[in-house]
Structure 1
Amino acid sequence: MQCPHNANQLARSNSILDATERLMELQGVVSFKLSDVIKESGCANASFYKLFESKEDLIVCSFLRNATSNHFQDFLDENPELSCLDKVLLPIIFTFETLYFSPTFHVVRQVAVNRMVWSLASSEKGKLLEDRINLYWYWIHTFLSEAVKEGELNADKAELLELTQGITFYLSGSLNAFQCELVDNEYLKETRLTLFRHLQILFDRYSWATPLKLSQFERMGMKVHLFFRSMEQGNSCCQRCLAQQRVG
């Protein structure tokens, strides 16, 4: 299924995905129905099926328009003074803030990347998802490579790949543990401090010119939080996804 290519289709697509995310919050990602999405969005059946083919398309597109990588370049353009370590922190902190501003993103993030879901989406949506997942890994690896080039990080090619993987695995594990809200406080408490400590343990395995400190982690967190609050077009919209496609 093709992405929206004019203003009317963009508005319709955003309305449909807004309705999808509301229904997922109310009914759950398994139980919501296409008929309810169409009714909730006020969209005609024919118009809906010009944009989306299935529930899987809706889930994938909800992920795509909320994807953290949608915002990286805008943030970098607004903050040219960032250090190499600041940039390495960006994908991590953007993920935390995306979850804050879009609570359904955690569920969508887990479900959309499940092969049993994305493989049932239309081929175009599946390809966009694959590209966006790899773009996220690309950004992490690029920021780490820049840190090596600027002398902020001493790491060879294998260590760069290992740390790229480590950051991604850290995010997946920590988000699943905290967002499920099933783990007793005995094991998980003080969310931000716990997240920082484990990130610091990961980073300390490598040779940085300047070690990661809590003050830097908190400062970047506030910068990203204020950036999200200031975005004119909203944190979640099809326009941001389309902009990434044009860049790609």
Structure 2
Amino acid sequence: MRCPHTDALRVKCQAVLDVTEGMIDQQGLISFKLSQVAKEAEIANSTFYKLFESKEDLLVCCFLRNATANHFDDFEALHPGLTAVERVLLPIVFTFEATYFSPSFNLVRQVAVNSRVWRLASADKAKAFEQRINLYWERISDYLKQAVNEGELVASQDEVRELAQAITFYLSGALSAYECRLIGKEFLQEKRQTLFRQLQNVFKPYGWREPLTLAQFERVGVRVHMYYQANRRDFNSCSRCMAMQAKHDG
């Protein structure tokens, strides 16, 4: 099922996804019904099913429009002087900020990547989802390779691949631990410092010219936060998601 091809349908698609994310925040992933989504988005059921075939389609599209990979090129254009290490930090910090500005994103992210979910989405949406996930991994790998080329990191191809995996696994664990709201406060240190210190541990086994500093981590964090603030009305738009897909397909 393809993305909407007219402005009118794009507006309706955006409304449906806004309502869906609101319901996920309020009711969780299990309780909300497609008929309720259509009603609150004020569109006919027939129009709804022109846009989405299933709940899996909704979840995949909620992920796609919030995907951090939609923003890296625009952010780099705004900040052309980023260092190699700062570029490596981009996917990490963007993921943290995406879950801050769209609280349902972490839950959607965890569920949508399950193959029993995204494989049940319509073929076009499943394909776009797979492409966007791999684009994220590709970007992390490319930033690490740039760090190698610029002399900031000494690493073999296998070590670059391993570090890309370590960064992604770190993100999954960190977000799950803090966002689940299950773990008692006595077991968790202050979030910002803990995230940085654990990321330092991810970086340490590899041959960085200089160790990762808190100042670098916070500098990128502030810039990404300000970027999201400035683009708050647009950061999770269907138009931005479709533009990224068109760029990838082109």
TM-score of the two chains, using structure 2 as the length reference: 0.97
Unaligned runs of 5+ in 2: none
For 2:187 and 2:223, the matched residues in 1 are separated by 29
Report the residue type matching 1:23 in the other structure.
M
2:65 touches 2:238 (CA, 8 Å); kept in 1? yes
Report the residue type matching 1:6 in the other structure.
T
For 1:64 and 1:194, the matched residues in 2 are separated by 28
Query: Residue in 2 aligned with 1:105?
Result: 105
Post-superposition CA distance 1:198-223 (Å, at most 9, x none):
10011111111121001110111001
Query: Residue in 1 aligned with 2:52?
Result: 52
Shift of 1:233: 4.3
Whether 2:215 is the aligned partner of 1:188: answer no
For 1:199 and 1:17, the matched residues in 2 are separated by 33
Whether 2:110 is the aligned partner of 1:116: answer no
For 1:147 and 1:205, the matched residues in 2 are separated by 15
Q: 1:1-248 to 2 correspondence within 5 Å?
A: 1-231=1-231, 233-248=233-248
Report the residue type matching 2:153 in the other structure.
L
2:234 touches 2:240 (CA, 8 Å); kept in 1? no
Report the residue type matching 1:29 in the other structure.
L
For 2:6 and 2:85, the matched residues in 1 are separated by 39
Q: Percent identity?
A: 54
Q: Secondary structure at the match of 1:69?
A: helix
Shift of 1:45: 1.3
For 1:159 and 1:2, the matched residues in 2 are separated by 38
Post-superposition CA distance 1:111-156 (Å, at most 9, x none):
1111111121111111111111100000000000000011110001
2:196 touches 2:214 (CA, 8 Å); kept in 1? yes
For 2:120 and 2:160, the matched residues in 1 are separated by 34
Q: Secondary structure at the match of 1:186?
A: helix
For 1:10 and 1:64, the matched residues in 2 are separated by 14
Post-superposition CA distance 1:15-68 (Å, at most 9, x none):
010111111112111110000000000011111111100111001100000011
What do you get for the CA RMSD once the two structures are aligned? 0.9
Report the residue type matching 2:211 in the other structure.
P
* Structure 1 residue runs of 4 or more that deviate by more than 6 Å after TM superposition: none
For 1:241 and 1:234, the matched residues in 2 are separated by 10
Unaligned runs of 5+ in 1: none
